[in-house]
A and B are shown apart, each in its own frame.
Chain A
Amino acid sequence: SYELTQPPSVSVTPGQTARITCSGERLERKNVAWYQQKPGQSPVLVIYYDNKRPSKIPEQFSGSNSGGTASLTISWTQDMDEAEYFCQAWDTSTASVIFGRGTKLTVL
């Protein structure tokens, strides 16, 4: 079955850039979305179609997808960005939604 691999945790100091990766076989051929989830809240879409931002998401969030790895980049990281981040794609071969296991972003 198709899998998306994320690092369990990423740490960053305030004001710095955080990068969270998501890898999968031939992932560059799929559309990747990213979700932010804070404790006790529902996930929120922050990136879709690899690098598109919903209108309410600040421009500090950006995405890319090439060479089997998708990345979520958070520039000028703030305390409020501390959350769990999940990547997601659709696997056509199994007609299934696939989620990564999530990356906890800690702002030190």
Chain B
Amino acid sequence: QVTLKESGPVLVKPTETLTLTCLVSGFSLSNARMGVSWIRQPPGKALEWLAHIFSNDEKSYNTSLKSRLTISKDTSKSQVVLTMTNVDPVDTATYYCARMFSNNYVPDFFDYWGQGTLVTVSS
């Protein structure tokens, strides 16, 4: 059974660094066809892709947020971590991690999603 579960702070102050962890089970982060992305959704708004990490540890980032984001993984712990620096109230959102199925290292679709974690940025 594949599951993903996000964890992290509920409340973060502006200018601080946000660190989120995604614990996966039911598959290995070293599986060549699997990668993990972070996606966020401000209240009442659309999904916004943030970053992706491939099984071979290559990373891709949303170009508009790239300078603030770092994605990494620990395969032995089945964890994917996202850090976002210098947060602002506009970063208030539900943050999801999701498994992405890839064919020949071309990411295709998200077949499993975590439940999401709501992060509020406020002083």
Contacts and interface: CB of A to CB of B under 8 A. Distances in A.
Interface in B21-42: 37, 39
A44 B113 contact: yes
B110 to A, nearest CB: 6
Nearest to B110: A45
Contacts of A86: 46-47
Nearest to B115: A42
Nearest to B101: A48
A96 B116 contact: no
Contacts of B52: 97
B63 interface: yes
Contacts of B60: 95-97
Interface string A42-62: 111100110000100000000
Interface in A73-108: 86, 88, 90, 92, 94-102
A48 B47 CA distance: 17
A42 B49 CA distance: 14
B47 A31 contact: no
Contact size class for A?
Answer: 20 to 34
A102 B111 contact: no
B16 interface: no
Interface in B103-118: 106-111, 113-116
A98 B49 contact: yes
A48 B114 contact: no
Contact of B111 (A31, A54, A95, A98): A54
B109 A49 contact: yes
Contacts of A88: 47, 109-110
B33 to A, nearest CB: 13
A31 B106 CA distance: 10
Contacts of B74: none
Interface string B72-104: 000000000000000000000000101011000
A99 B48 contact: yes
A70 interface: no
Contacts of B39: 97, 99
Interface of A: 1, 31, 33, 35, 42-45, 48-49, 54, 86, 88, 90, 92, 94-102
